Structure 1
């Protein structure tokens, strides 16, 4: 027993086997095939000729940011004064004055052992730090820029780990402050840390952080990450004093300045 070839119907409703095609249909099909191949080839050629300009710009910006620690004056990375419009509790304005800049160098002794271990995969090219005080000189805040040795993939991996494991909220991973002798931050040590923030950038080989406390040297029993200290209804002392806003506000403005400098460095002359 054998099965016949299945039938279809032509434009006059006459039976026609599916396997057969008219000469005009075959010509049209061939033309479509050639046209499609031409379009695909043209798209590939166009992509090759134009290049990935967006990706190229991102790579240039990443590389430029990595060199800012020796290409940009300290007053541009850590301005002598910073304005924080709406940066305080209830959108109150803030202003900060720089009281000390640490000598730039490596990361030895700059972090507690556990945080140093977490940051080890991205390396330490250079560490810059400055300490600020608020307008009333009641609070002191150290802001740090850790320039790493990592590429974009390494920074992305570290950022994912901080995000998934919520490492930026662990009190055993707080950054250390920079206590400057002869200033209101002279007594700002590890026991005085009250609130902090850590941001791992993915468009620059930089980790930005800030840690804050009281200028009178009081010890803190329970430190709060900035995000928790800034929550509405938070009653812990660091939250009531607005120290989460201090850390977040200063870190954000230093980070914005860093991005601005990196963007300027990658602009091409017209």
Structure 2
């Protein structure tokens, strides 16, 4: 028995109506077949998708329908690609490709952008969250108030030390400061020599600290009695030529600031620093250039009662060769212009004054009392 080959069911060709909106850039709607017109309708090209990369150029990549056996038909291609009519044509014309209909959102329709930018609803604040925020605010206010109160209390505390407290603290400098700070190993005297010449002195030795009874003349000890003698430190220096030697000392007193000012005024008014019977004693050092430096070799001296430090600084100079000096002269007189005495012409007045200046300045700087010009 002869059987007719099975043919697939071919649905009737769907009728497409042209898009109500012509494609951008076209001046007329999509053409359709008209009765009586034997010309085949012109194919309509699918619009170029907007997602084509601007940097790639050329024709966009299109998706074409797969081949279908003759006589078969298929529905339009997937959305977004032009639909192809595969119904066999008897007139030999090419199948017509229709542009996909454009989608226009209605006024009441939600667009994708609106769906992605819509804010989420905020839930109600819980009591625990409100309590935590309140606690943070209270804690912050307490910390701020404490900082302000602390700054106010700190402003009431004493800042820098007063002049009186500094004066009292400097009394212990003789044992709290290193020896090399009180008496440096070398001293430089720029312009400290006769005629403004530069001088340099080297320390020979430092005497052990002690009392004033055995180191000073008894009459000088008596003159310093109103302020007392807490401790005496001293050292001996020699110049660069080792032709002169100088003993410099510091007497740390026991008096307060008022008593020190009174003694200072007396030394100035009565010129006690210029009296030869109040001249300080020398500190000889056996086995050195100062071995022969005794009371008979003293040539010039200076004594200063300091104002801001409870101390008396002095210096006395003489010849290193042990010669005797019969006419000692105080440093202010031996450094005066036109002086012709042996201490003046040998520069021993400049030696005593220059070394005393630098030791005094070092003491003032160390105890932070640079308020008085040495000399």
Same fold per superposition (TM over 0.5) = yes
Structure 2 distance, partners of 1:259, 1:57, is 16
Q: Which residue of 1 aligns with 2:336?
A: 231
The correspondence for 2:318, drawn from 210, 213, 238, is 213
Of structures 1 and 2, the one with the larger relative CO (CA 8 A, separation 6+) is 1
CA contact (8 A) 1:65 1:259 kept: no
Which secondary structure does the structure 2 equivalent of 1:181 belong to?
A: coil
The correspondence for 1:80, drawn from 157, 160, 185, is 185
The correspondence for 1:166, drawn from 253, 271, 275, is 271
Q: Which residue of 1 aligns with 2:280?
A: 175
Q: Is 1:190–2:295 an aligned residue pair?
A: yes
Q: What is the CA-CA distance between 1:113 and the residue it aligns to?
A: 1.5
- For the pair shown, which has the larger CA radius of gyration, 1 or 2? 2
The correspondence for 2:260, drawn from 155, 180, 183, is 155
Q: Is 1:100–2:197 an aligned residue pair?
A: no
Structure 1 distance, partners of 2:325, 2:156, is 57
Q: Which residue of 1 aligns with 2:100?
A: none
Greater strand proportion: 1
Which secondary structure does the structure 2 equivalent of 1:127 belong to?
A: strand
TM-score (norm 2): 0.56
Structure 2 distance, partners of 1:107, 1:217, is 25
Structure 2 distance, partners of 1:170, 1:150, is 23
TM-score (norm 1): 0.77
Which secondary structure does the structure 1 equivalent of 2:313 belong to?
A: strand
Structure 2 distance, partners of 1:94, 1:102, is 23
Q: Which residue of 2 aligns with 1:203?
A: 308
Q: Which residue of 2 aligns with 1:259?
A: 364
Q: What is the CA-CA distance between 1:68 and the residue it aligns to?
A: 0.6
Count of paired positions = 215
Structure 2 distance, partners of 1:181, 1:87, is 28
Please list the CA deviations of residues 190-223 of structure 1 after superposition, one character each: whole Å capped at 9, or x if unmatched.
1111000000001111000000000000010100
The correspondence for 2:232, drawn from 108, 119, 127, is 127
Which secondary structure does the structure 1 equivalent of 2:216 belong to?
A: coil
Q: What is the CA-CA distance between 1:58 and the residue it aligns to?
A: 1.1
Sort the Cα spacing of 1:72 and 1:88 in 2 relative to 1 into closer, same or farther, 3 A: same
Sort the Cα spacing of 1:50 and 1:81 in 2 relative to 1 into closer, same or farther, 3 A: same
Q: What is the CA-CA distance between 1:50 and the residue it aligns to?
A: 7.8
Structure 2 distance, partners of 1:79, 1:73, is 10
Q: Which residue of 1 aligns with 2:246?
A: 141
Q: What is the CA-CA distance between 1:61 and the residue it aligns to?
A: 2.0
Q: What is the CA-CA distance between 1:53 and the residue it aligns to?
A: 7.8
Output the aligned Cα RMSD: 1.7
CA contact (8 A) 1:129 1:144 kept: yes
Q: Which residue of 2 aligns with 1:25?
A: none
Structure 2 distance, partners of 1:95, 1:124, is 31
The unaligned stretches of length 5 or more in structure 2 are 1-154, 370-375
Which secondary structure does the structure 2 equivalent of 1:122 belong to?
A: coil
Structure 2 distance, partners of 1:173, 1:249, is 20
Runs of 4+ in 1 over 3 A off after TM superposition: 49-54
Please list the CA deviations of residues 128-167 of structure 1 after superposition, one character each: whole Å capped at 9, or x if unmatched.
0000000000000000010011110111111011000000
